[in-house]
Amino acid sequence: MKICLVGYGAMGHIVYEMANNEISAICDINYEKGIKNLSELKDHVDVILDFSNPANLDMIYEYAIKNNTPVVLATTGYNIAAEAKINELAKFVPVLKSANFSLGVLVMDKVLEMITPILKDSFDIEIVEAHHHNKVDAPSGTAKMFLNTLIDKTNYEPNFGRYGNEKRKTNEIGVSSIRGGSIVGEHEVLYCGEDEVLSIKHSASSRKIFAKGALLACKFIVKQEKGLYNMKDVLFKGE
């Protein structure tokens, strides 16, 4: 498998180290040995793996459609227009987009799907996430993924960064973000009931877990038909 890696920051370096020589090209304007634009690619690649930022979506869109190349999007922080463009791209090529590529996080999300319908009427639900001080988006993409799962099972409303004197509503899900130090990523969902609290938490101690999942996603997406996929398709396809 030949992968073109878009973005050669902290995650890009780790992906490159773990890819067992499957990275055939690196696209990053700050990397001298790589290319600055996908249009400069001379050799065929099997998949584009994006660990950059939303600003590169147009470039990826154009190249993928022109060359019929599958895409794995590991970037977060897309706005509504960008999300629409991703959906449009999936009409032409296979696209896998995920807010988190950790296998543990994905299993946690599956657990939330299972237990939330059972607990929602008796427990208040809160999400707390923590990341390093350089992370620019909040809440994290993973927190949003968990939130979407919880809303789908409850129809509750999100409350981001609770502030003020208003009492907590029974039909809301609180979302709190912490930014500090070098925290790789921590996500906790709390089910708070009368006299008991159920806490489900995932902590990442290394970015290697995200690289491992992203490379697994690449192997999956090159075998798929056009359409939009996520990591649940990789882990739970065929259930």
The set of catalytic residues is 131, 135
Q: What is the DSSP string of 177-222?
A: EEE-TT--EEEEEEEEETTEEEEEEEEES-THHHHHHHHHHHHHHT
> Between β-strands 71-73 and 47-50, what pairing exists: parallel, antiparallel or unpaired?
parallel
CA distance 223 to 236: 16
pLDDT, residue 239, reads: 52
Residue with tokens 């449009």: 88
For residue 172, give every residue at least 6 positions away whose Cβ sits within 8 Å of its Cβ, in sequence order, or none: 156, 157, 158, 159
- pLDDT given at position 130: 97
Residue-wise pLDDT for 186-201, tens only, equals 999 999 999 999 999 9
Q: Report d(CA 100, CA 107) in Å as an integer.
A: 11
Mapping DSSP to helix (H, G, I), strand (E, B) and coil, where does residue 114 land? helix
Residues of the chain predicted below pLDDT 50: none
Can you tell me the distance from the alpha carbon of 103 to that of 111, in angstroms, rounded to the nearest whole number? 13
* Burial class, 121, CB count within 10 angstroms (exposed 0-12 / middle 13-18 / buried 19+): exposed
Residue burial 63-99, b: 16+ Cβ < 10 Å; e: rest: bbeeeebbbbbbbbebeeebeebbeebbeebbbbbbb
pTM of model > 0.95: no
Task: Please check whether residue 93 is in contact with residue 65, taking contact to mean a CB–CB distance below 8 angstroms.
Answer: yes
Which pLDDT does position 104 carry in this prediction?
A: 93
| Structure tokens, 209 | 């877990």
